[in-house]
Structure 1
């Protein structure tokens, strides 16, 4: 693989990304074009940047989750790299800059200042599952697909891609890939790329517990109904699997913002049951503590910041169930350091997300108890950040290294499938 540009970089805002895409289209009119392929629920444009015109199409989805700005940055960097190389005969690339621009707008404040852990959560937003555009409603749910979801499935129907890459990022952990089908040789390339970027491979990722893992950091999405599945419970109800009707492989590529080296530790944990039990009890206690703050949210904030409230309530609802599953099932099996670390990260991260959202929702609260509620939420944020920094040793991964790994991963996947 070619050495990629590793200039110092930041995540672009939506406006910056759209402006950069327009400049590329103007600068390379023979190879590059930009078009609108849909609108978000709030009317924001969904922009597709296409490079070259071959019949074999590779589709890249940027910005599927608003708390993972690497996706939009990665789509732009990939376009720059492709345009710096000769066109490959018969191949075209189609880069969706941001699948969830409405969500991105709710978390954009982080991108304008120092990229610190504290500021990230001060501006945190990630929608509940039913509002994530890559997840499609069940046929019997009575819910229509969101406009963003429909735009993406329409695009898949139009392009009939051989490859779909979804560009994701994790806040804490390691690099990994989830695949709808095997890509021989990819695991080895990803391992080399992660090593170059100074990233651990996530050996027991929470998003893929129970999924087949043919190599470290590589997970194959199970066939529907074939076995235990982590969240989302039904990966077949997703735009990842939708592309399979055209023979496409989807690669969900994950890169961490803050690396935690212990997620790459395959050794047996010496006291797994105790550690997992402590994490589960802590998560349940935090969920109960933060749930008690919900009544202090003023009516106006409930109306004006309804997406934030739905996200907070969603996380508070799922957290105790996750903890119960750990207590019921995990102690009966030997667990690695990686799996126990994963549980600890979830137990620290989920309350951190909720408490951060509550601080935004409680900002204008008045009356008895409101200030105490804010102080309680701040204490949870402070304690969670302290755990992540010091107990788990979370370390910032420079944006240029995140971009370099993700771009290498996309190009490697396409190269191997071709």
Structure 2
């Protein structure tokens, strides 16, 4: 977080007539929330980095977008546009993830340092509606949306294991083709059946329509985004929101649309595995809670653990072909991509829970229940399954950032109504057509 703020300030110092940095809010822990603005057009974009604490790519992306906007007047003066880039929506949570950001970039290191607040402490959601939003980070974003009335809002997310995809509150015809070209050029897999969009309309491969918010219980809200959110709040201003997901570890099978042999058997296995893992982790929690609850940050760590253990069994039931109790929504036809995504998602719930429990015990400074060796074994085994069983491979930071930047610029061109740049045979805007990042670059 300190590096991100310092780099934004240095950029403004180099371009004082074209870039500004202003404090727009303060986090719960007193951390300043900074908005970097480039250009002075009458129309606004709002680009939000760090909505989820464990997804750091957006911070690098907003800096790259600012550099592009400063270098190319077609993004600012010619488009009558001001780019507004919020450096982090959850600076406190982002800081709690810094233990793995210096590398080495291994799955085990990531999950042992993983942090994401409990659902009710995530500033992107509005479980009580905009009027009832209490988190200062949420209020800061809502105020910015109402002040700027952006024609485009992009929420920058990072998929830990899987592929890239985009979710939209309004259609942007042609975006799926732009995403496909960008992903192919940069070697980033597209996620054709994301768990997040399991029951959402598909606008094209790896592009999905976010349904209007509806009331639901906590489990539904966490698994289907079934509550009001800051994605939809500016809808009344004519805003199109694009949630741009860039993967950290890519898995090729998430873009395999071939039919899956014996899909029901695979679904039973995934469901049974998630139930088993949830029960085992619940047992570990019961053993460590009495001794670890008084440790540093215990309440913050326990909140997401309780959330994951709450939703795990219900998620497993919703996938199980043998459970048809009238409440489960039928799954879309399961192809290889969808079955892979569900397997990755179930394991993700378990690994995140195990990582948070590992931190809980470690920070308590003692382990009378003897849980750490068991947690270390589970984390190592499950990460090996990602790596060896699913072929998860690290995508260099430069490539993650370039992929997300190009998708944002494609959404900008389509939302702004720009004609395709003359001479661009592929239809990609020239400002997003830099040569592909070399495969070896970090």
SS in structure 1 at match of 2:204: coil
Contact 2:165 2:245 in 1 (8 A): yes
C-alpha change, 1:28 and 1:265, in structure 2 (3 Å) is: same
Q: Which residue is 1:341 aligned to?
A: 340
Q: Which residue is 2:427 aligned to?
A: none
C-alpha change, 1:134 and 1:53, in structure 2 (3 Å) is: same
Contact 1:137 1:145 in 2 (8 A): no
Q: Which residue is 2:288 aligned to?
A: 296
C-alpha change, 1:334 and 1:165, in structure 2 (3 Å) is: closer
- Tell me, in whole angstroms, the C-alpha distance in 1 between the residues paired with 2:409 and 2:343: 33
SS in structure 2 at match of 1:195: helix
- Tell me, in whole angstroms, the C-alpha distance in 2 between the residues paired with 1:33 and 1:77: 15
Q: Which residue is 2:81 aligned to?
A: 91
Deviation at 1:127?
1.4
Q: Which residue is 2:10 aligned to?
A: 23
Q: Which residue is 1:307 aligned to?
A: 300
- Tell me, in whole angstroms, the C-alpha distance in 2 between the residues paired with 1:355 and 1:166: 27
Once the two structures are superposed, residues 165-184 of structure 1 have per-residue CA deviations (whole angstroms, 9 ceiling, x without a partner) of 00001001111000000001
Q: Which residue is 1:256 aligned to?
A: 247
SS in structure 1 at match of 2:377: helix
Once the two structures are superposed, residues 380-417 of structure 1 have per-residue CA deviations (whole angstroms, 9 ceiling, x without a partner) of 10111011001110011111111111111111111111
C-alpha change, 1:152 and 1:224, in structure 2 (3 Å) is: closer
Decide which of 193, 197, 214 is 1:204's aligned counterpart: 193
Q: Which residue is 1:4 aligned to?
A: none
Aligned pair 1:130/2:120, yes or no? yes
- Tell me, in whole angstroms, the C-alpha distance in 2 between the residues paired with 1:226 and 1:102: 28
C-alpha change, 1:319 and 1:108, in structure 2 (3 Å) is: same
- Tell me, in whole angstroms, the C-alpha distance in 1 between the residues paired with 2:355 and 2:81: 44
Q: Aligned pairs, how many? A: 401
Once the two structures are superposed, residues 66-103 of structure 1 have per-residue CA deviations (whole angstroms, 9 ceiling, x without a partner) of 11100111111111121122243311000000000010
Query: Within 5 Å, which residues of 2 pair with 1:33-52?
Result: 33-52=20-39
Q: Which residue is 2:319 aligned to?
A: 326
So what's the TM-score if we normalise by structure 2? 0.86
Contact 1:172 1:260 in 2 (8 A): yes
C-alpha change, 1:224 and 1:102, in structure 2 (3 Å) is: closer
Q: Which residue is 2:430 aligned to?
A: none
Once the two structures are superposed, residues 270-302 of structure 1 have per-residue CA deviations (whole angstroms, 9 ceiling, x without a partner) of 011111111111111111111111232324545
- Tell me, in whole angstroms, the C-alpha distance in 2 between the residues paired with 1:365 and 1:405: 41
- Tell me, in whole angstroms, the C-alpha distance in 2 between the residues paired with 1:162 and 1:333: 33
Contact 2:292 2:361 in 1 (8 A): no
Q: Which residue is 2:140 aligned to?
A: 151
Deviation at 1:197?
1.1
Aligned pair 1:107/2:97, yes or no? yes
- Tell me, in whole angstroms, the C-alpha distance in 2 between the residues paired with 1:186 and 1:88: 24
Contact 1:205 1:339 in 2 (8 A): yes
- Tell me, in whole angstroms, the C-alpha distance in 1 between the residues paired with 2:267 and 2:384: 19
Contact 2:253 2:337 in 1 (8 A): yes
- Tell me, in whole angstroms, the C-alpha distance in 2 between the residues paired with 1:337 and 1:357: 30
Contact 1:25 1:34 in 2 (8 A): yes
Contact 2:361 2:367 in 1 (8 A): no
SS in structure 2 at match of 1:112: coil
C-alpha change, 1:306 and 1:224, in structure 2 (3 Å) is: closer
Contact 1:44 1:101 in 2 (8 A): yes
Q: Which moved more, 1:218-227 or 1:276-285?
A: 218-227
Q: Which residue is 2:159 aligned to?
A: 170
So what's the TM-score if we normalise by structure 1? 0.91
- Tell me, in whole angstroms, the C-alpha distance in 2 between the residues paired with 1:149 and 1:367: 37
Contact 2:319 2:331 in 1 (8 A): no
C-alpha change, 1:367 and 1:96, in structure 2 (3 Å) is: closer
SS in structure 1 at match of 2:60: helix
- Tell me, in whole angstroms, the C-alpha distance in 1 between the residues paired with 2:15 and 2:47: 19
SS in structure 1 at match of 2:127: coil
Aligned-pair RMSD on alpha carbons?
2.1
- Tell me, in whole angstroms, the C-alpha distance in 1 between the residues paired with 2:411 and 2:386: 32
C-alpha change, 1:286 and 1:143, in structure 2 (3 Å) is: farther
